[in-house]
Each structure stands twice: as structure tokens, then as C-alpha cells.
A = this chain, B = another copy of it.
């Protein structure tokens, strides 16, 4: 059997309640009692039982990280978010519970917030984000959305600026002389693609360039879809001379498909990806990409959540963080 507070009480000849207070640095406790109790706890090797404490306190010091798990992968993207989250959580004495959302995400979320297994939730991606948000909102469960914004005024989120990212990238291409620029999204990133293409349109408008709707595409999820989209784009009359892809793996697929089709990158076709994944630096030519502050997003989201947990009346955290454009060889060549 594990050592309990009762054992300590017997050991120091005091009541369990006093021991509890001493251990938790309760105000009305004598310094001497505190030190005796702490000493005893150390000697006996006492550790508070999590479940008992959770039950009584009505809080667990755990928060959940839920993410779409449709492709059975946890990507570099999620990892980098988690890094920020976990470091902040650890410091604040919180642990992170992983919730891969498969099957029926909404039912799963319901159970998560009703069983009290975590105090709050961080929401990344997932197919049913809007419904998930509505669900948690109506359950009054503390949560923060990661890397997506929300129009609902009381919903907390921390996101990179998808609109600005596209503006930045598109301007870069225009400055390089490109006039026919494609904008590639992905089915699983609907909201982001909307923001991106809006930024893209804005940058074109600034330069008085016309939008060719055939150059704005959203590809399906699986691998191969990017290559196919690329071939489709190259088949358009007056094909694009530049592509803005919604994430690096997609950009890399495009790059490889373009090369396979005999195009030189960036001379015949410039390509921009997003997220600054490792592979974007490893590929030849290196990939110009948008660098979102993922660890920072994770950190700020966690901090926002902690604030809400400490004070439920505190205002929601609504942050849109600037991104950086990393210019590499896929747009400007190696010279």
C-alpha cells in the first residue's frame, strides 16, 4: 500500500486535516507544524494520490490536446505546436493528455468534457471544427482553438495570420515578375484555404492583376493529389509561372511533378510552400516557405487556457500572429 496522509498524521501525531493543510501551505498553520509535516512526508516517501485529490478539488491539472487523426499520423506540424504547449503546461504544473479524434469526434469531445478527465482542451484541426467549437462552447468547457480563427466573439483561438501569409507570398511572386500565379489549397484545410485565397486575391488586386479562377484549386487529401493538380495546372492555356501551395508536402509534390514534366524550378515555375517543415530545407532546390510561429502558438494558447482556468470570467484569448516568409531557391534560384 502507498503512504497516505493518514500515515503521516499518525507518524507526527496530528490529525489528517492538519497534515493536509501543512502540505498545502495553508495560511493558518504554524511554521513548525509545516516543517515537521514536510519532513515526515519526505521520510515516509509520501506522494498525494492524484485521483483522490482530483475528486475533492474538482480539477485535474490536466489538459487535453485533441487533433484530427484521420491519416494516422502526427505530423511535424502538430509536434511543433505540442512542443510549445507541453513546455508551458509543464511549468504551470499541468500535464497534457492526447486525444486523437477518430470515428465520432463530437461524441468523444462530449465525453471528454463531461467526465472531467481534463480541465480544458486545446483543439487542433479535425474535420468538424465548427461543430466541435459549438459543442464545447455550449458546454461552457474551457478551450482554445489552435491555428484557426473563429468569428464567434467568445471563442478563444491563437492562430498564424493565414491571410497575411498569402499576401506576403503573393507579393513576393509578383515582385519577381510573375503574373500567372496558382493558389493551391487542400480539402482538409477549408477555412485556411479561404483565408489564403482571400489574401492571394488581395495581393493580385493591389497589383491590378486579374484573377483566373482556374488557378485557384483545392486538392483532395491523399498523396498524389498534389502531383495531379500540378499536371492539371500545367495543362491550362497560359499555365501559371508560380504556385502558392498551402503546405510544404503539397509544394514538394508540385515541385517534383513540375520537374518530372520538364520544368525548371524556379526558372520556369516558382513554388512557395508553407510551415517550414524540415523537408522544405532538404529538398533541392530548397523551398521558399511561410514560417508560422508554431511553438509560440502552442505556448500562447496554453497560456490563454491557463488564464481562463484560473479565472473563468477572464476575456477570451484571440490572437493572430504574424508569419515570416523564408525566401529560398524555389523562387529566387541559387545564385
Contact = CB atoms under 8 A, between A and B. Distances in A.
Interface of A: 2, 45, 47-52, 54-55, 60, 62, 69, 72-76, 78-80, 82-83, 86-87, 90, 95-100, 102, 110-111, 114-117, 249, 252, 277-284
Given A47-B111, A277-B278, A97 B100 contact: no
B252 A282 contact: yes
Given A72-B83, A90-B102, A279-B282, A115 B54 contact: no
A25 B281 CA distance: 55
A93 to B, nearest CB: 11
B47 A51 contact: no
A102 B75 CA distance: 23
Given A54-B51, A55-B52, A62 B97 contact: yes
A55 B2 CA distance: 13
27 contacts: A45-B114, A47-B110, A47-B111, A50-B54, A50-B60, A50-B115, A50-B116, A51-B55, A51-B60, A54-B55, A55-B55, A69-B86, A69-B87, A74-B79, A74-B86, A75-B79, A76-B79, A82-B98, A96-B98, A97-B97, A98-B98, A278-B278, A278-B279, A278-B282, A279-B281, A283-B284, A284-B284
Contacts of A111: 47
Given A50-B116, A52-B55, A96 B97 contact: yes
Contacts of A252: 282
Nearest to A75: B79
A144 B12 CA distance: 38
A114 B47 CA distance: 6
Given A51-B116, A278-B278, A284-B284, A83 B74 contact: yes
A116 B48 CA distance: 9
Listed from nearest, the 6 A-B pairs whose CB atoms lie closest are: A284-B284, A47-B114, A51-B54, A282-B282, A279-B282, A51-B55
Contacts of A69: 86-87
Nearest to A64: B95
A49 B96 CA distance: 19
Contacts of A114: 2, 45, 47
